[in-house]
């Protein structure tokens, strides 16, 4: 049994769609290039006031891209499930309080 089949929380996170570079893509299917593009899109949106809240999210996408490069992962779903679950709220894949996934707590 694969890690996602034994972890419905991880499965739901990986199935979430992300809009980046003009397309919707399941989070689990995103490549390192997709994650770098998403980080760049978010960095471009950072400004003053409410948009300043986007900066940590952009940095989380950079962290994800680095992890993928380090692990030579072709897609997010190839990363360690615990890492994906930990990063999901920081990436705004799930609401920061966990919302749709039980047990995902903000750090």
Question: What's the CA gap between 49 and 34, in Å, rounded?
Answer: 27
Close Cβ partners of 93 (under 8 Å, ≥ 6 residues apart): 13, 16, 18, 27, 87
Question: What's the CA gap between 80 and 7, in Å, rounded?
Answer: 12
Domain tally, the chain: 1
Q: Does any domain span residue 21?
A: yes
Q: Does any domain span residue 17?
A: yes
3-state helix, strand, coil in the chain (%, to 5): 55, 5, 40
Query: Quick one: pLDDT at residue 73?
Result: 98
Q: Does any domain span residue 92?
A: no
Expressed as residue numbers, the domain containing 71 is: 8-87
Q: Does any domain span residue 19?
A: yes
Predicted confidence band at 104 (pLDDT cuts at 50, 70, 90)? Answer: very low
Q: Does any domain span residue 76?
A: yes
Per mean pLDDT, which range of 15-19, 52-56, 73-77, 81-85 is the poorest?
52-56
Q: What is the pTM (predicted TM-score) of this model?
A: 0.80
Q: Does any domain span residue 23?
A: yes
Q: Does any domain span residue 69?
A: yes
Q: Does any domain span residue 37?
A: yes
Q: Model confidence over 54-67: pLDDT tens digits?
A: 999 999 999 999 99
68, exposed or middle or buried, with CB in 10 Å at 0-12, 13-18, 19+?
buried
């Amino acid at each position: 049994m694969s890690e996602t089949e034994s972890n419905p929380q991880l499965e739901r996170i990986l199935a979430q769609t992300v809009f980046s570079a003009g397309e919707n893509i399941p989070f689990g299917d995103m490549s390192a290039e997709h994650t770098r593009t998403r980080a760049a899109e978010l960095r471009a949106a950072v400004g003053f006031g409410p948009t300043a809240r986007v900066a940590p999210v952009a940095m989380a996408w950079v962290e994800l891209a680095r992890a993928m490069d380090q692990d030579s992962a072709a897609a997010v779903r190839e990363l360690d499930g615990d890492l994906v679950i930990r990063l999901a709220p920081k990436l705004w894949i799930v609401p920061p309080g966990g919302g749709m996934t039980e047990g995902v707590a903000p750090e």
